[in-house]
Structure 1
Amino acid sequence: MIRFLCTLRKISTPLKKQALNRFLFQKKIEFSNKVYFSGTKITNGCACEPSKEKSNKKHRLRPRILDEFFDLNCKTAVVIGGADGIGYAAAHEILSNKAKVVGIFGKNICKGMEACHALNCRFGKRRAVFFKVDVTSKTDIDCAICKLSDEFGVIEAFVNSFGICDGKNWEYELNTNLIGMARSTIAAHNYLSCTKKGGVIVNTAGIFGMVASAGCPTTCAAQHGVIGLSKSFGKETLFKHTKVRVITLCPGMTETKLFKDANKRALTTFMGKCLQEEIESMKKQRPEVCGSAIVWLIRHGVSGSLWMIKDCNLYKINCEVLNFTELYNQFPA
């Protein structure tokens, strides 16, 4: 650089400007070829986590700000599975954003009433109401939605945050995690479509919806299914027709009861050991982080999008890329 500037002093002014412009243009091209602020890392066609570029300087990711689609002020929302864990954190964050009321749907009456009592003490009387709902029953979901809308007005936001990890009872597990999610999503989508005002549905899957697991294959299958279900309901064609956004969030390993002693409920003893090793190898985050991410997606998330919250960072996942890079065989047409 010093040698270049010394050379510029010996030449005329027009040539000096021309040489300087060439030098700056070349440096701009070299800079653009380097990735300093890469928000995602592509793994098997999916952008799952921030890329780690080898550099002496530490570069920080710059969060992207999207347009706001939805304001929770004076709105009615539903959180299925809001008695504890991520669902409770989401209900708390929704009320913090000045929502009129949150309906907590759940199977455990004691936990549901305790959650509503805690939220009402924090935000005011009748800001949270509980309805006993079993997601394996379509009637329970429809009746609870009708009761809540009759009492508090049109519901405009649904959060489906529930699930179990029980490999020994894998049929019940799939019925709850996958079929139950399908029931609640279909019921919410039908309701929001009939109101003709649109709305938003946020479904939570999990870290095993993005990666395979040797310890809990049935849980992994259900979470993969939730992603396919939500992304399909969120396609632009359906969104334009119904004005209902459907968004998927995959929380990283979170401090909830989902995987507590899950190794004892695994399909086999060996799978239980594998699951324990997988859980211990992952860094855990607080449920409040996921609750904040859910509310952010309600406000800013694009329909059909897939997101991951990991280590307090929210990343958008791109799973639409199919990489055909290795050809192993060819067969006659």
Structure 2
Amino acid sequence: MAVELTFLFCLVILSVRANSISDKDLKGKNVIVTGAARGIGYAIADNFLANGVNLIIILDKNVTNGVRAAETLKCKYGRGKTIFIPCDVTKDLQLWDGIIKKHGPIHVLVNNAGILDEDQPREMILTNSVAPIEWSLKFREYARNDKGGPGGTIINTASRSGYRITPFMVSYVSSKHASLAFSKSLGHPYNFKRTGIRIVALCPELTYTAMTAKQTVWDDQLEDYKKVVKDAVWQKPDVVGKAAVHIFKNAESGTAWRIAGGHLSVAPVYLYMTDEEIEKAIKQN
């Protein structure tokens, strides 16, 4: 069941250290959020606007949902606060220059667009891995301090699958491992000190979205998977949106953050689901 967001603070972990940027205030920022027509992306856009961003640019390939999301946010925060641009992040990177020319400067990029469909492994890799890499590198070249840019922040939605090894959703897990590794590598303090580009990763655990409402595993695994996740605590997208605000204001470059059942903590480096754990869950349920 969904629970309200409660943060697990660790003052040492969340303290501002040498690789932290000085400007962690969302007020006045122009922000791109991919895949923000619904779900977690929409929740991030909503909560960013509630914390004073100047402009949210929604990029999504679902035009109907994108228009609806933008109109809802405009009614809530003001007509000039949200723009929707139809975009397939796997194909439309060339839109970047036009966005900058018309709506720049861009201070924050949230790579949230993603799919979960084990029958389309290539499309998942392109959407969940390749696209965030390409858009991040494009933003990095535009915003890096050492080339005259304003600096900025990239937030990549990597999912709990970015640090877990399980026998379920194997292609999706692989795509999110790539996204998380990229975020930590590009966001490494070595890179941050040279560019002023902070990169952090969100790793939401089980969250109610249209994506997770569909069957996510192979037919022959379905019954076992239902038993394995039967007692898991789920959360609503809005708690992830609130966590994204907190992470923006506090997180250091190269870090990854777990949002599990509404609780925020540093993401594990690696979790392996053993066969014994799976068998135990199946027998109990």
Match of 1:168 in 2: 119
- Which residue of the partner structure matches residue 15 of structure 2? 66
- CA deviation map 1:50-85 (0-9, x unaligned): xxxxxxxxxx96553534641111110110111111
SS for the counterpart of 1:79 is strand
Residue 225 of structure 1, CA deviation: 1.0
Q: Which has the higher contact order (CA 8 A, sep 6+)?
A: 2
Give yes or no for contact 2:40–2:238 (8 Å, CA) kept in 1: yes
Quote how far apart the aligned CAs of 1:119 are.
0.2
1:56-135 aligned at under 5 Å gives the runs 64=11, 66-67=15-16, 69-135=23-89
Q: Which consecutive unaligned segments of at least 5 residues does structure 2 have?
A: 1-6, 17-21, 271-285
Question: Is contact 1:78-1:102 (8 Å) kept?
Answer: yes
Distance 1:259 1:318, change over 3 A: closer
- CA contact 2:67–2:84 (8 Å) conserved in 1: yes
Q: 2:105 matched to which residue of 1?
A: 154
Letter in 2 for 1:172: E
Please state how far the C-alpha of 1:175 moved relative to its aligned partner. Answer: 1.7
User: TM-score, with normalisation over the residues of structure 1?
Assistant: 0.72
Q: Which residue of 1 aligns with 2:94?
A: 142
Among 297, 302, 305, the alignment partner of 2:255 is: 305
Please say if 1:317 is aligned against 2:267.
Answer: yes
Q: CA deviation at 1:210?
A: 2.0
Q: Secondary structure at the match of 1:155?
A: coil
Deviation per residue, 1:227-269 (Å, 9 max, x gap): 1010000011110111000001100101111222224xx3x42
Q: Whole-Å Cα distance in 1 between the matches of residues 67 and 53 of structure 2?
A: 19
State the 1:213 CA deviation.
2.3
Q: Does 1:292 align with 2:242?
A: yes
- Partners of 1:277 and 1:185 in 2: how far apart? 37
Q: Deviations over 1:276-296 (max 9, x none)?
A: 334433211011110111122
Change (3 A) 1:278 1:191: farther
The answer as to whether partners of 2:206 and 2:261 remain within 8 angstroms in 1 is: no
**Alignment map for 1:178-257 (pairs within 5 Å):** 178-193=129-144, 194=147, 196-257=149-210
Question: Which structure's CA Rg is the greater one?
Answer: 1
Matching residue within 213, 220, 224 for 1:270: 220
Partner Cα distance (2:173, 2:141) in 1: 27
Aligned residues: 255
Q: Alpha carbon RMSD of aligned pairs, Å? A: 2.0
Quickly say closer, same or farther: Cα 1:113–1:240, change in 2 above 3 A. Answer: same
The TM-score normalised by the length of structure 2 is 0.83
Amino acid at match of 1:74: G
Alignment-mate amino acid for residue 176 of structure 1:
T
Pairwise CA distance, 1:151: 2.6
Aligned partner of residue 98 in structure 2, secondary structure: helix
Structure 1 runs not aligned, ≥5 long: 1-59, 321-333
